[in-house]
Each structure stands twice: as structure tokens, then as C-alpha cells.
Amino acid sequence: MKLTDGVLRSFRVAKVFCENSDRINCLDFSPNGHSIVSSSADDSIVLYDCQEGRPQRTLHSKKYGAGLIRYAREGDTVVCSSNKRDDTVRHLSLRDNKYIRYFPGHSKRVVALCVSPVDDIFVSGSLDKTIRLWDLRAPNCQGLVHLRGKPLCAFDPEGLVLAAGVSSRAVKLYDLRSFGKGPFATFRMRCDKPCDWTGLKFSGDGRRILVSTNGGFLCVLDAFRGAVLHTFAGYANSKAAALEAAFTPDSQFVMTGSEDGKIHAWDGESGAKVAVLDGRHVGPVTCLQFNPKFMTFASACSNMLFWLPTVDDSP
């Protein structure tokens, strides 16, 4: 099935999971699209089977909490940040619920975490105003960049470029092969009203960068020139929540949650709004991702929702 305007508008909630007693902090699909993992403010990590549409297991992290979470490339381990006790990042086996390695170094809370799509490296950004480059096979930091404010980060699809959002004002691009030498490009953005950037993502084709904000709008940048291609607004966010936004895997559409439980979608090329989907979330939709391999997406507040299309537009 090809993702078209009509198919996107036809998406409906297929499953609602109420496994968590508090807000879901983060969710991530496995690289093969077969599973999804979530971390919650109730200190739990829940693994879901996407093919069978059911929770698979729940892991508890009472000691360290469950902050941000991302799948490693092999798909049965994750890297996760702490929101209790310390600011260490941990490599966790989902199979046997054991920590494989600890990555200490940050002195304040980790607010950005992303894993390379092509090898065993990942980066973490912290309120200590640093971005650290790590290798899953080694406990020591492989690279360190000091910044002037809160960082966000994202790998390009080829795993060669790291984009860093700094102080909600600029995007800096780093070549991973010379990470410590500083950025090779800097794009500065001016916003009409003050806001905090809350997310940074590349499109699947690597041509655009999506900047999420808590100001009730999103921006899409040209990844090569830094020009603002589109600004998307018109969704509810009166309380300045960090609402996750995402590209669809084909880079065609941009989606975001809203505080009233709805999902908004736009055409990434024309900028036209395509759909508003009502999942009847019980709170703000703070997590949203499209499955990288299959025609489904997930959204979360304190509940996890799986969405499926109800029409087939294929010829």
C-alpha cells in the first residue's frame, strides 16, 4: 500500500493499551518495525509486539527511572537515559532485562538521545550543555562538544551527519568523521514569538530537517541550505507542552500530536493540511512515531495507541 492523502485520512485507532499509570515519556520502533518500546514516568519500560498488537513484557526501572529510550541497531537492546539518581545513559538488554554497559559523563539531565542508523554509535545531549558521542562497545566517551545552551540532536539517514539544535536558535551540522572539529554548517532561525525547541528529526530522504517547538508550530528546513521551507500551525498547545512530531517514512507527510488528543498531518512538499485524526487520547499526545517498515503508527499520552488505515488506495 502506498501512503496517500486518502490513506492517511483513513487511519483509525486499532488498539488502546493502558499499561501505564503515568505519562509516557518516549517511544521508539525497532529498526525492523516488528516491535515498539516505551518509557514512562511511572518508571516502567513496556515492550509491544506490533505484528500481534499486544504488550509483550514490562520492565521496571525504579532505581534509575525511565527517561528517553532508543532501540540499538540489533533490535533487542535499547539505550535509555535516567530521570532519577544520576545522569548516566545505560545500554539495556530487553531479552533478559540486564544492563550491558553504563555510559557516565553527563552532569545534568539527558534531554536528547539518538542512535546511528548504520553502526553502533549514539549521541546524547544534556542540560549540562554538551553533546557526547558514544560507541556501544566501549564505556568511554568517543567525542565531546561544548555548546552554549540546551542541545537537541538527530542523525541523517546515512549516519554521516549529526544535526544539533542549540539554545532554540540554531541548527549546527557536524561530520561524524571529524566530530571534534566543530560544525561544517550553521543555520540560524528567527521566530516571531519566543519558544523552546523540543525535537529535531531528519526526513527519510535526508533532504529536510523537522524542528518541533512548544510554541504551537513546527518548522521544516532545507537540510542543505537551512532555509525554512514550511511552518505548520493550527494545532492545540496552549500549555507549551513538548509534543513530538515526525515525518512519515517516505518523507511525504509531517505529523504531530496536540494537547486535545488529536493528530494533525500536512503534506511536506506543499504545506497543505491533509488530515486531523481524533484518537480520543486522555491527555496531550506527547509521543508520536510512524512505523519504519509497516503501514501503522503509534501515539501516546499515558496510554499507547496503535493506528491502522481503513482504506486501500493502491491501484
CATH label of the domain that carries residue 110: 2.130.10.10
Per-residue pLDDT band for 191 (boundaries 50, 70, 90) equals: confident
Count CB-CB contacts under 10 A for residue 12: 11
Q: How far apart are CA 141 and CA 130, in angstroms?
A: 12
Q: Would you put residue 80 in left (φ > 0), alpha (ψ -120 to 50) or beta?
A: beta
Q: In this predicted structure, what is the pLDDT of residue 194?
A: 81
Share of the chain above pLDDT 90, in %: 92
Q: How far apart are CA 243 and CA 301, in angstroms?
A: 10
Q: How far apart are CA 289 and CA 272, in angstroms?
A: 20
Mean pLDDT throughout 164-181?
94
pLDDT tens, position by position, 51-72: 999 999 999 999 999 999 999 9
Percent of the chain as helix, strand, coil, to the nearest 5: 5, 50, 50
Does a structural domain hold residue 196?
yes
CB 243 within 8 A of CB 259: yes
Domain extent for 231: 5-308
Does a structural domain hold residue 314?
no
212-222 burial by CB neighbour count: b if 16+ within 10 A, else e? bbbbbbbbbbe
Amino acid sitting at position 82: S
Q: In this predicted structure, what is the pLDDT of residue 315?
A: 53
Rg (CA), the chain: 18
Does a structural domain hold residue 313?
no
**Helix (H) or strand (E) run with residue 5 in it:** helix 5-9
DSSP string, 160-211: SEEEEEETTTEEEEEEGGGGGG--SEEEE---SS---EEEEEE-TTSSEEEE
Count CB-CB contacts under 10 A for residue 229: 16
Share of the chain above pLDDT 70, in %: 99
Does residue 249 carry a pLDDT above 60? yes
Using the 8-state DSSP alphabet, how is residue 61 labeled? Answer: -
Does a structural domain hold residue 38?
yes
The grid cell for 69 is 529510550
Does a structural domain hold residue 252?
yes
Q: In this predicted structure, what is the pLDDT of residue 14?
A: 97
Q: In this predicted structure, what is the pLDDT of residue 193?
A: 75
Does residue 314 carry a pLDDT above 80? no
Does a structural domain hold residue 315?
no
Q: Into how many domains does the chain fold?
A: 1
Per-residue pLDDT band for 313 (boundaries 50, 70, 90) equals: low
Per-residue pLDDT band for 128 (boundaries 50, 70, 90) equals: very high
pLDDT tens, position by position, 59-106: 999 999 999 999 998 779 999 999 888 999 999 999 999 999 999 999
Does a structural domain hold residue 187?
yes
Output the pTM of the full model. 0.95
Phi and psi dihedrals of 134, rounded to 5? Answer: -130, 155
Does a structural domain hold residue 280?
yes
pLDDT tens, position by position, 139-156: 899 999 999 999 999 999
Q: What is the mean pLDDT of the chain?
A: 95
